[in-house]
Structure 1
């Protein structure tokens, strides 16, 4: 049975021949009392109420989690010149008021570790540690004289030794503010000490804000302090500030260390569009005789990965090895990441093989990147299989591993598989992190009926003491991006800020995308303007969010303008950028635009990633351009990428629409050969093919074999019978459809009107119209136009005019304007 529709053991049992004739029954009509009525329509409130309840319940739960989170921001009741430390006050109030904290700093006082403090200094330290954080600024002002007699550096060191960097920061802020009032400045050693304290505590955002307020150029800081500040600026994405300080540092005669250069390589790598600057820094390092370390090499390779510079990454890596450098795990992992981002899984596998040959042990990061490479190439199951490989090799999968696979399932919409993997993750003792929860919440949010699962996840977060972060709120914003949900976007954004999460660049990008999906592209543009006013420079993600808003409307001209603006500002469009403009071309019906991108892909100007080639197939499918689909599908296979069921179904449906029966069956065979099971979309396409070719009995055979046919399934078979003029068979299928609880739509009824009009059965057309109105499906303009065209085609113009004049008798919603338009149409046909 090779090549048969259901070879060997079919998924659905199908009759292979037409059933034997039954004793004749009275023919079914729309006036027949035996015709089952259609199922009742779902009320409009049923659609909107769960949606409202869905978001309201989730928002309330998220607000509760955020309010009990230690990351929630304390709204200060008073202002300071340097109000940086306020961000951490609420979190630290609980810690610093606990008995454990009190005993820890008290023991420090008693065990001699604070002997560098004078007796008076210890007393002042004792007083500071006993004060709540929110009262410290007032306390400092009331003890100004006493504080003036104590060595400030020693006091800051003491607070640091006691593990209270927050109190040290508040004291430092007060001292700076107090000295400014007296036209003085604090000692440079104090600034250096504060830099080291914040750097060691990884308080990069706070440090970058703090040093915006202090005129650092007035201080002669050592290279260690400067490097720490550079690192803070880098981590806070303040790249321009870091570059400015680096240049000023060299201008003052300070000689950057290897660590300083590594930090600056990281700055340029994260900033993007800076490959020439990176090469310049490397030359500068070589001229000073510096030897690259693992951080240097991995940072440069990672920078290549961000920019899609695959050739440059390979050349740099090969150059290192030719000079005798032996890459370590970190460098290999950076190279793996370059290939993983592009989905070049074969290159990733070769890197893993080289590591093993060089006795360089892979770690969890190595396998995580391998998972990412498989996922990006469309091999989701192979990516999930790496988890078992890791366990066998004694490398335990971590939250990143699982989250990468979960994200893959999210892209395919396979939520149940994702939840199964999540359950397995917890069974194996891997604790989910906030990224894991955010990934699951994001994919569940796309399924508006999974609110209970989302609430369960939020409760799970609470039980695991996993506090929501800004990304969680961004995920909630993204969930609201749907038509008619604009007010929810507004509300969630306000609640997010009220909960202490100030918007960052990613938040603005999410808002642009969400408003775009709501159809509010004007507000999306305003968000872009607000983002710039807030001091955030547009990123590649920003442009992609704008492209997404335009792509949804099919505004390919606007999308081209955005792409041009990106390039003029030095941004290199990503595969997501090109995928979005392909979608814009497809929705706008611009085949020429799609072919221009296609030419650049096949010509090597754009990397042919799995995502891009997949999008190319689907874009051509939307435009019903089979030659383009076949070229893109062949390119996918040529590059060894995984072909998913969506792609197979797209090809099969296009072959079906073009009556290419053999090619459609070949694609069905390919689906099974790839280890996939045909789904309802597959069989609906096959039914459509048979219905188009007039073999409507074969289409019905498939329908009978389906476990859960849908409205499309029945409409396809009904249309097949109506095209053949077999109206009794069509209404028989219609009757079965009603009996199975599937409500007909306007397309179903218009198909019957078309069939009856083709046979000149005008009384039956009137019966269909009455039946529609009686059962709550009001005819539309097309319904009446099909009927009128039938009359006119039969040259029954008088009957057509009578039909038009009588519509109001049965359809109370038919207005005068519609009647005049139809009457004019009849006159035009005369």
Structure 2
């Protein structure tokens, strides 16, 4: 009777799985949004970004799970000879390459049958080949899940399912943004008696990467209440990542104390996850103390640790330590760490480093063209304006106009004005003002006052008066400073009648007298 109930549960779970694979649902909106999103300066990104930024943290729960699963599989493997293991890996790799070449809408069962994948699975009855195949297909999680579904249909006494296969499939469902499928697979594994800690870890990870923080923590509580399973250091690493991504630092530190009280050894991922959380929360002192504790202990920092520290030093504008760390991981950063490069450029933009332009331009060489960020464009406009490099400033201004990037801060506009004023480029300033008005940039009275001053210095009085009309069109009416600019322009070139007329206008409007016009 028990066997019949068990078979019924499995059949029902398989039916649900088949339905979910055939009609993939769009991703759910996250229950708790990624904390990094609020720190983006566009940000927009993307993110991107945000979760995308944090996915580069070395505390990648899916990667941890993959490594743990493969390690466990090899421990129980009946393939003891290295040559035989490598031969099996090569066969799995060839099959994976062929499957990855299959178009999305093509049936993959025929490919698996034609390649005798069933025979390949029988060569490793402990699931090693199946797990290896799913790992190699992770770039296309929906394809990998179809392979898993095919694999379940091959189950017999010789090649039974193992928990690690379910764990891998649950993680893949999470990557495919299908948390309902992940939960169904978890339930199915429990129904057939394959529930282990690795499956809890996989479901926690699936929920975490889809922003379902409360559900992920709930699975951890279920694990603690399951007398058959015990949380491992991988479990706690995932929990650390969950709290770290949400900037729940107090909760994360409580988990660290639990790890120590349970006599579990901290791993490299433990330290990297904690450092990543402190970087996310902008807690620089705690970030450094964790790094030093790691450096002095048995677990030494790796490249990922240094990349996290580099990001932290960049965000905190600690240029000295940032540059020292950059030297250690320069090749890795220049090769593919675009977010870190952006953070370093931003740090130089905000600094008063005497060689900041040279440093920025050296880093910009490693920025792909498709990695444009509006906020970074605006920062670069301000840097080149402050340095008086008008041509370079105008290149970034033109790019901003072309990409419909808007400048909404008066500080950046004043920097642009000052740059034009210092090189006495009134015509270039006039052209910029027209474009800025059209593009909807932040227009301030200082733009027009600067034009008036520069026209006055060049004795272009007619154009100086025309600026008053431009101001009126933008609803900027003359102020005391406006009249003083006109008075000084006339007085300097000896046109005292016009200067006296300006004084009269000021008197009529109740704006007082210019200081040098008062009787001695």
Task: State the TM-score, normalized to the length of structure 2.
Answer: 0.51
Q: Does 1:467 align with 2:120?
A: yes
Closer, same or farther in 2 for the Cα pair 1:574/1:677, shift >3 Å?
same
Residue among 719, 729, 752 paired with 2:392:
729
**Distance of 2:446 and 2:225 partners within structure 1:** 58
- CA shift for structure 1 position 646: 2.2
**Distance of 1:698 and 1:432 partners within structure 2:** 53
Partner of 1:635: 293
**Distance of 1:612 and 1:544 partners within structure 2:** 15
- Whether the 8 Å contact between 1:515 and 1:523 is mirrored in structure 2 is yes
Q: Does 1:544 align with 2:207?
A: no
Matches within 5 A, 1:240-259: none
Partner of 1:612: 270
- CA shift for structure 1 position 709: 3.2
SS where residue 407 of structure 2 aligns?
helix
- CA shift for structure 1 position 699: 4.3
Closer, same or farther in 2 for the Cα pair 1:604/1:730, shift >3 Å?
farther
Partner of 2:48: none
- Whether the 8 Å contact between 1:688 and 1:699 is mirrored in structure 2 is no
Closer, same or farther in 2 for the Cα pair 1:706/1:791, shift >3 Å?
closer
- CA shift for structure 1 position 759: 1.6
- Whether the 8 Å contact between 1:621 and 1:650 is mirrored in structure 2 is yes
Q: Does 1:597 align with 2:255?
A: yes
**Distance of 2:177 and 2:171 partners within structure 1:** 10
Partner of 2:189: 531
Partner of 1:759: 413
- Whether the 8 Å contact between 2:349 and 2:380 is mirrored in structure 1 is yes
Closer, same or farther in 2 for the Cα pair 1:798/1:546, shift >3 Å?
farther
- CA shift for structure 1 position 580: 1.1
Q: Does 1:664 align with 2:322?
A: yes
Q: Does 1:433 align with 2:103?
A: no
Closer, same or farther in 2 for the Cα pair 1:749/1:700, shift >3 Å?
farther
Q: Does 1:679 align with 2:324?
A: no
- CA shift for structure 1 position 544: 0.4
**Distance of 2:230 and 2:473 partners within structure 1:** 65
Closer, same or farther in 2 for the Cα pair 1:491/1:731, shift >3 Å?
farther
Q: Does 1:492 align with 2:492?
A: no
Q: Does 1:520 align with 2:178?
A: yes
Closer, same or farther in 2 for the Cα pair 1:705/1:525, shift >3 Å?
closer
**Distance of 1:558 and 1:753 partners within structure 2:** 41
- Whether the 8 Å contact between 2:167 and 2:202 is mirrored in structure 1 is yes
**Distance of 2:473 and 2:439 partners within structure 1:** 21
- Whether the 8 Å contact between 2:381 and 2:396 is mirrored in structure 1 is no
Closer, same or farther in 2 for the Cα pair 1:705/1:650, shift >3 Å?
closer
Matches within 5 A, 1:121-160: none
- CA shift for structure 1 position 670: 5.3
Partner of 1:691: 349
- Whether the 8 Å contact between 1:582 and 1:616 is mirrored in structure 2 is yes
CA RMSD of aligned residues (A): 5.1
Closer, same or farther in 2 for the Cα pair 1:435/1:556, shift >3 Å?
farther
**Distance of 1:628 and 1:442 partners within structure 2:** 47
Q: Does 1:555 align with 2:212?
A: yes
- Gaps of at least 5 residues in structure 2 are 4-57, 68-81, 102-110, 415-431, 448-470, 476-520
**Distance of 1:688 and 1:791 partners within structure 2:** 26
Closer, same or farther in 2 for the Cα pair 1:757/1:664, shift >3 Å?
closer
- Gaps of at least 5 residues in structure 1 are 1-208, 210-377, 379-406, 412-428, 449-457, 739-743, 770-786, 801-830
- Whether the 8 Å contact between 1:725 and 1:759 is mirrored in structure 2 is no
- Whether the 8 Å contact between 2:240 and 2:252 is mirrored in structure 1 is yes
Partner of 1:655: 313
Deviations 1:294-329 (A, max 9, x none): xxxxxxxxxxxxxxxxxxxxxxxxxxxxxxxxxxxx
**Distance of 1:527 and 1:793 partners within structure 2:** 64
690-699 or 573-582, larger mean C-alpha shift: 690-699
**Distance of 2:95 and 2:473 partners within structure 1:** 60
- CA shift for structure 1 position 645: 2.3
- CA shift for structure 1 position 542: 0.7
Closer, same or farther in 2 for the Cα pair 1:725/1:512, shift >3 Å?
same
Partner of 2:21: none
SS where residue 120 of structure 2 aligns?
coil
- CA shift for structure 1 position 431: 5.0
**Distance of 1:555 and 1:575 partners within structure 2:** 21
Partner of 1:567: 224
Partner of 2:377: 718
- CA shift for structure 1 position 433: 3.3
**Distance of 1:797 and 1:436 partners within structure 2:** 76
Matches within 5 A, 1:437-452: 437=90
- CA shift for structure 1 position 430: 4.1
- Whether the 8 Å contact between 1:652 and 1:685 is mirrored in structure 2 is no
Partner of 1:507: 165
Task: State the TM-score, normalized to the length of structure 1.
Answer: 0.34
- CA shift for structure 1 position 750: 6.4
SS where residue 299 of structure 2 aligns?
coil
Aligned pair count reads 337
